[in-house]
């Protein structure tokens, strides 16, 4: 069985997505921590287009872009399926994963914003998440139903990561009063062993995010 | 066999992608032209999240977002495959499709810009297209090899829609001297009967691009 390596960055939710998928599939892999301020030769060789993490290397074949990696993992290790079997249900899952690309943009704006920009970003994020909650999640426990799937994985940052950013910014968006079902979903997701055991400790996340945001503010 | 309907908009490159895929698969469908200034009840019902075209409706099940629709078409009508069989080659195809998605901000900037902004946008696009040509296309005739696949479909707009926009803006990016292989690919792509017969007349594309620019 060809070797699997994951080049990641410990605070990045994009890296965490891949870890959860590999763990859910029971795939053995070697994790390589990248210092993004001093990128390794391997990273530059394996992801010449973007020079970013995460990169999965299977055998000697590299794959970049977390959503592409997730689809690859799903196809290569079909046990414990993380997408529905039915083509229409799969299309719905992919639709909500793609919707999440906009959510990531909104999360970035929230992360980078301050003052009025932050307020505006919080408002837009909230509006986007309302649609996700109402039409994407509905009354389901997880996007995948009783258990998590690729859609849940793709939105994972809304739990632990967003909570840390909200605390650092002093602005809450995902709350029981505004997004009751999505808030409950996030709590449930963070409680699942595969997620709980594979995210950074919250104080470490906070310290990293606060330092990163201060660096951004200085520039 | 459940009925297939496509809600589209005649100048939209996103609509065209779906038409090409359906034609390549030999799928019979009913085409419904949407007036985007006066959206139909059906469109709003079938795509409540974005209220945009294209929307494919299979039986009574709607699917929105052109790339999601393309993956659905590929899975539902497996004849004449438009993605590689091998999981790694599929991952590479999906990587390059996503690369195109990541270029949409640069295309928007080119579309909206003028003067210095336009120059910068053209330069950014050229840089991105160089990577696409070098690392995505390489020396292949099409991204799909000897015949087109979903990757070609996703970049199809470069051959006609983008060419019309370049003409309307008076700025060229995709040229034989700067992007020889990609330019050749684009020409070959629009010459294919399934494409040629399923895009608006070039003059209409230019007229539409100019009209849109005048509005902004």
Q: What is the domain-level CATH number for residue A98?
A: 1.20.1050.10
The answer to whether residues B123 and B144 belong to one domain is yes
Please report residues of B whose CB lies closer than 8 A to that of A64.
95
Judged against a pLDDT cut of 80, whether residue B10 lies above it is answered with: yes
The answer to whether residues A66 and A113 belong to one domain is no
Domain count, chain B: 2
Percent of chain B scoring above 70 in pLDDT: 99
Is residue A212, in this structure, part of any structural domain at all?
Answer: yes
Interface test with A, best of B47, B60, B68, B83 (most A CBs within 10 A): B68
Phi-psi domain of B71 (left: phi exceeds 0; alpha: psi -120 through 50; beta: other): alpha
Is residue A82, in this structure, part of any structural domain at all?
Answer: no
Residue stretches of chain A with pLDDT short of 50: none
Concatenated DSSP letters of A69-135 = HHHHHHHH--SS-SS-SSHHHHHHHHHHHHHHHHHHHHHHHHHH--HHHHHHHHHHHHHHHHHIIII
Q: Tell me, yes or no, if A135 comes closer than 8 A to chain B by beta carbon.
A: yes
Torsion (CA) A113, A111, A137, A53 in degrees, nearest 10: 140
The answer to whether residues B124 and B208 belong to one domain is yes
Domain that holds residue A157: 87-217
Strands laid side by side in the A4-8 sheet: A30-33, A4-8, A55-58, A61-64
Q: What integer pLDDT is reported at residue B214 of this predicted model?
A: 86
The model's pLDDT over A166-195, given as tens digits with 9 standing for 90+, comes to 999 999 999 999 999 999 999 999 999 999
Interface test with A, best of B27, B62, B76, B87 (most A CBs within 10 A): B87
Decide: B164 and B205 in contact? Cβ < 8 Å.
yes
State the CATH number of the domain containing residue A14: 3.40.30.10
The answer to whether residues A53 and A158 belong to one domain is no
Q: What integer pLDDT is reported at residue B207 of this predicted model?
A: 94
What average pLDDT score do residues B24-40 get? 97
Short-list A87, A151, A136, CA closest to B70: A87
What average pLDDT score do residues B120-141 get? 97
Q: Tell me, yes or no, if A99 comes closer than 8 A to chain B by beta carbon.
A: yes
pTM for the whole structure: 0.96
The answer to whether residues B134 and B192 belong to one domain is yes
Task: In whole angstroms, give the CA distance from residue B76 to residue B21.
Answer: 12
What average pLDDT score do residues B180-191 get? 98
Nearest residue in chain A measured CA to CA from B49:
A131
Judged against a pLDDT cut of 70, whether residue B1 lies above it is answered with: no
Judged against a pLDDT cut of 70, whether residue B101 lies above it is answered with: yes
β pairing state of A4-8 and A30-33? parallel
Decide: A88 and B71 in contact? Cβ < 8 Å.
no
Q: Tell me, yes or no, if B75 comes closer than 8 A to chain A by beta carbon.
A: yes
């Amino acid at each position: 069985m060809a070797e699997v390596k994951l080049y990641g960055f410990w605070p990045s939710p994009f890296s965490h997505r891949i870890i959860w998928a590999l763990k859910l599939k029971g795939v053995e892999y070697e994790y390589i921590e990248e210092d993004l301020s001093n990128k390794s030769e391997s990273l530059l060789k394996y992801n010449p287009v973007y020079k970013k993490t995460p990169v999965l290397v299977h055998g000697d074949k590299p794959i970049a872009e977390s959503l592409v990696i997730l689809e690859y993992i799903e196809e290569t290790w079909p046990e414990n399926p993380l997408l529905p079997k039915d083509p229409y249900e799969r299309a719905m899952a992919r639709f909500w994963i793609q919707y999440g690309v906009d959510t990531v943009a909104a999360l970035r704006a929230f992360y980078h914003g301050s003052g009025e920009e932050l307020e505006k970003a919080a408002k837009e994020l909230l509006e986007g998440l309302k649609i996700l909650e109402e039409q994407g999640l509905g009354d389901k426990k997880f996007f995948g139903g009783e258990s998590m799937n690729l859609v849940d994985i793709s939105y994972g940052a809304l739990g632990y990561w967003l909570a840390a950013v909200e605390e650092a910014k002093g602005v809450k968006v995902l709350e029981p009063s505004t997004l009751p079902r999505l808030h409950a979903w996030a709590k449930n997701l963070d409680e699942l062993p595969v997620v709980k055991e594979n995210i950074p400790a919250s104080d470490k996340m906070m310290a990293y995010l606060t330092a990163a945001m201060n660096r951004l503010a200085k520039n």
